[in-house]
Structure 1
Amino acid sequence: MSPPDHGPAEPELALVLYRALLEQLPEGVVVADADRRLVLSSERAERLTGIRLSEHTGEDVRDALPLVASDGHSFWASADPWGGLRTLSGSPEQRLLLPEGRSVLAATRHVRSGPDRRLQWLVMTMRSTRTRDRIESETAALVTTVAHELRSPLGAVRGFSQTLRNRWSQLRDDQKLWMLDAIETDAGRLQRQVGELLEISRLDTGRLVLRRRDVDVLALIRSAIHRVVSGGADPDRFRIVSEFDEVCFVADPDRLAQVLSNLLDNAMRHGRGTVTVAVELRRREVQIEVSDEGPGIAPEHRAAVFTRFWQARGRGGNGLGLYVVRGLVVAHGGRVEVVDRPGGATFRLTLPRVAPEGS
């Protein structure tokens, strides 16, 4: 007895199943056969391209999906999956342009068979360019912001250095010392800016390494205040509140010092009045609060202060300091928040007294 003849129903059923499988994938998918005909396409591919690809099934995929590479040439002509090198198994992901200003990130996979490795199937996957566009936009914003922030101290260092070199014999000793102090201050500012950039790179790529040891946070606070005062701040504006003479716990002293310096700089830049640093020792945690007597942070802005490039209106800064603060605190296994308290801005750090397991 011969098997029953199902006729054309079997390939149609297979196509239905394939389409159902494609719709489960997070990427848009387009499939063409050995004759360059569009065989399958997913709904997500249609949304990404803005083309009703299902209406072009059976047509030449090059006409149904007119893709243009970034150099302005047709992707299909440049890649030539059917007539090009038969050793190629696909093309890497790249940005491809479509009509009406659309673009997608697309890659292809070539399914070949036979001794001549003839192309049997071309499978193209595509995804939105939104994430890459956002990253590129943030990178451009970072470059612009950093260039702006570095220009001022670099200009000051260069200007004072030229003045000292060209007018050394005409300047009084006190004038020379003042200019050297200014150069040292601006050089320190440059060093901190570069340090922030390095920390952002480490945080974003997961390459941050903490070197933990026993540290006295009160000593770090005093050192951070001394640095701010040496830059010209009034020492009477700072107050440390703690019931202990020492508060020791396990942390990376360099990164914790950077956190404290950023919070103090933030209080000096955006706040007013006395800057108070309060330290409370708990059973398993150390709590540090840095507060000022300025206008404070509006409730609707508190969720955004730790994001990149957030800036208080009209207050300057590069918008990266608090982003670094949050990243370093989280790396320690702690948390940082803006406390809802009248009479200024208060930032609260909560850090574990011992290093979390596995860190």
Structure 2
Amino acid sequence: MSTDPGAGNASDGGPLDVQSVIDALPDGIVLAGADGSVTHVSVAARRLLGPAAAVGVPLREALPLQDLDSCGWWETLKPYDGLATRTALSESAWLLPDGTELLVTARLDRDAPLAPVRGVAVSLRPARARARLEQERANLVTTMAHELRSPLTGVRGFTATLLERWDAFDDAQKRLIMESVHHDTDRLSRLIGDLLEVARISAGRLPLAASTIDPVVTAEAVARSVAAGSGRAVEVRTEPGSDLRVHADPDRLAQVLTNLAENAVRHGQGQVRFLLSSYDDDAVLLAVEDDGDGIAADLRRRVFTKHWRHGDRAGTGLGMFIAHGLVRAHGGDIDVTDAASGGARVEVVWPRARDLS
């Protein structure tokens, strides 16, 4: 690692400006040379560390970091004098004098194994993101544990009853019990599926098998399924004469429409409607409406966040988050607005099929 501002070449053949590069990075970066003096400080690092981080000062002074036992980062890790085979320092949490927690990692530059350190690159970022992620994971575990408990209790109770009193039930009663068990296991399967989808969306590793499909066919199938399961009317309206084919993974599109329709049934009132029409030359509009009270404007930004729940009939708080993630993974967009009836209207803008002439 060279700390010379003119070291290296940019893609256009000009000199690489180290300061510009590190200033463009989201994490704070501090570079030091062979003598332990700071050679570069990025804008983000200056914002995190304050005036102590300045070019020319010893790296030890530029990083006034301590752990919970008041041991200093420099004294503990010894970047220049520690184990001679090290080339990196693993990310760990350290505290600034004001108590702010940072996640800090470093790269140690050597000409060869066992050679002296000729430069240190330190990366710093606030630990708030990690704390938020850990809280989200804890919330997810709590939510799923609560949601899984009910169907598991049902399965266990029904099967225990059958095992203990098999001869006491006639065939019709046994069938009724097994239908209840099947319903609970189906619910368990959907909950586990939701959990897997959340993990894939959060990790940005959502597998898609996209093809050209007709969303009207998908919407009609979803409408029949949701209506049968809820007892509520679900209507599908389309724009006459329009080619509404989209580029989508069929199962993912069905999941999006199912989540939106079930959310409308759960929280809205009256009839639920699918409205499919052209949006522009590149996209199709898939809207879901209900006749309820709608969603307040100050809550709309939170609808697609993980664990968002509202009202007495809230579910896991994952359905709208999953719908949002699936839509965005296809290059589409999703938003909440008002229906003409005063209820909620969720609009999905989905890319058209690419093979349209």
- Band of TM-score, shorter chain: 0.7 to 0.9
The structure number with the bigger radius of gyration is 1
Query: Residue 191 in 1 paired to residue 182 in 2?
Result: no
Displacement of 1:65: 4.9
Distance 1:128 1:221 in 2: 44
Look up the match of 2:273.
Answer: 276
Displacement of 1:326: 2.0
Which one of the candidate residues 212, 231, 235 is aligned to 1:239?
235
Does the 8 Å contact 2:337/2:346 carry over to 1? yes
Structure 2, unpaired ranges of 5+ = 1-16
Distance 1:210 1:274 in 2: 32
- Say which SS state the counterpart of residue 338 (structure 2) adopts: coil
Which one of the candidate residues 142, 157, 160 is aligned to 1:159?
157
- Say which SS state the counterpart of residue 255 (structure 1) adopts: helix
Does the 8 Å contact 2:274/2:289 carry over to 1? yes
- Say which SS state the counterpart of residue 303 (structure 1) adopts: helix
33-42 vs 280-289, greater mean Cα deviation: 33-42
- Say which SS state the counterpart of residue 265 (structure 1) adopts: helix
In 2 relative to 1, CA 120–343 (structure 1 residues): closer, same or farther, beyond 3 Å?
Answer: closer
Mapping 1:1-359, distance limit 5 Å: 24=23, 26=25, 27-29=27-29, 45=45, 47-49=47-49, 52=52, 57=57, 65=63, 67-69=65-67, 75-112=73-110, 117-119=115-117, 121-231=119-229, 233-234=230-231, 237-242=233-238, 249-250=245-246, 251-280=248-277, 284=281, 285-341=283-339, 342-355=341-354
- Please give the TM-score of this superposition, normalised by the length of structure 2: 0.75
In 2 relative to 1, CA 158–220 (structure 1 residues): closer, same or farther, beyond 3 Å?
Answer: farther
- Say which SS state the counterpart of residue 204 (structure 1) adopts: helix
In 2 relative to 1, CA 230–166 (structure 1 residues): closer, same or farther, beyond 3 Å?
Answer: farther
Does the 8 Å contact 2:244/2:277 carry over to 1? no
In 2 relative to 1, CA 290–20 (structure 1 residues): closer, same or farther, beyond 3 Å?
Answer: closer
Distance 2:280 2:100 in 1: 57
- Please give the TM-score of this superposition, normalised by the length of structure 1: 0.75
Distance 1:194 1:81 in 2: 45
162-171 vs 263-272, greater mean Cα deviation: 162-171
Paired residue type of 1:234:
G
Look up the match of 1:5.
Answer: none
Structure 1, unpaired ranges of 5+ = 1-17
Displacement of 1:354: 0.8
Distance 2:38 2:212 in 1: 65
Distance 1:293 1:71 in 2: 59
- The number of residues matched between the two structures is 336
Does the 8 Å contact 2:85/2:114 carry over to 1? no
Does the 8 Å contact 2:87/2:109 carry over to 1? yes
Displacement of 1:244: 6.5
Q: Over aligned residue pairs, what C-alpha RMSD do you find?
A: 4.0
Does the 8 Å contact 2:223/2:236 carry over to 1? no
Distance 1:31 1:242 in 2: 60
Same amino acid, percent of matched pairs: 38
Paired residue type of 1:238:
V
